[in-house]
């Protein structure tokens, strides 16, 4: 009875930890832990199999195979969507420069904004990429 209560508690804990996210042991960070658990299950299966408990050994082998298979699976990384070419008006709006802005004014606006949104300064890579694309579009680099 104690084993059933312990198993139920572990199941509830597992479900609480994963709450609508990817299963805990299928996340990328847990691959090493999952592989170690698979190895432990196989070792336990050998130990109890030698002692004559074939039912437990079979269960441990199945659990070990499941863990080993889940440790090997990787989620494919989706390729980034193809970037649409930025219009000149959109590039000017992003950098905050007018139609008559020259090279120096565009570069100054880019530098000023990049200081604020650079990932090293707490900004995001997406905003920095937009600024780079806008500057490249206006300066004829892209």
Please tell me whether residues 66 and 92 are part of one structural domain. no
Residue 9 belongs to a domain: no
> Taking residues 34-58, what's their average pLDDT?
90
Prediction pTM value? 0.42
Query: ∠ at Cα 43 (59, 31), nearest 5°?
Result: 85
Q: What local confidence, expressed as pLDDT, does residue 106 receive?
A: 92
pLDDT in tens, 62-118: 988 888 887 776 666 666 665 567 888 999 999 999 888 889 999 999 999 998 888
Residue 48 belongs to a domain: yes
Q: What local confidence, expressed as pLDDT, does residue 33 receive?
A: 80
Question: 42 or 2, which is more confident?
Answer: 42
- State which residues form the domain around 121: 88-138
Residue 15 belongs to a domain: no
Look at the chain and report how many structural domains it folds into.
2
Residue 117 belongs to a domain: yes
């Amino acid at each position: 009875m104690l084993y059933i209560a312990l198993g139920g508690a572990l199941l509830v804990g597992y479900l609480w930890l994963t709450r609508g996210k990817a299963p805990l042991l299928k996340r990328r960070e847990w691959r090493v832990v999952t592989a170690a658990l698979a190895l432990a299950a196989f070792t336990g299966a050998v130990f109890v199999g030698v002692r004559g408990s074939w039912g437990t050994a079979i269960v441990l082998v199945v659990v070990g195979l499941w863990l080993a298979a889940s440790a090997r699976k990787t989620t494919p990384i989706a390729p980034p969507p193809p970037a649409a070419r930025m219009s000149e008006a959109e590039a000017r709006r992003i950098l905050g420069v007018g139609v008559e802005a020259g090279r120096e004014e565009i570069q100054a606006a880019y530098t000023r904004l990049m200081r604020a949104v650079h990932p090293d300064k707490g900004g995001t890579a997406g905003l920095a990429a937009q600024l780079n694309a806008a500057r490249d579009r206006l300066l004829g680099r892209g």
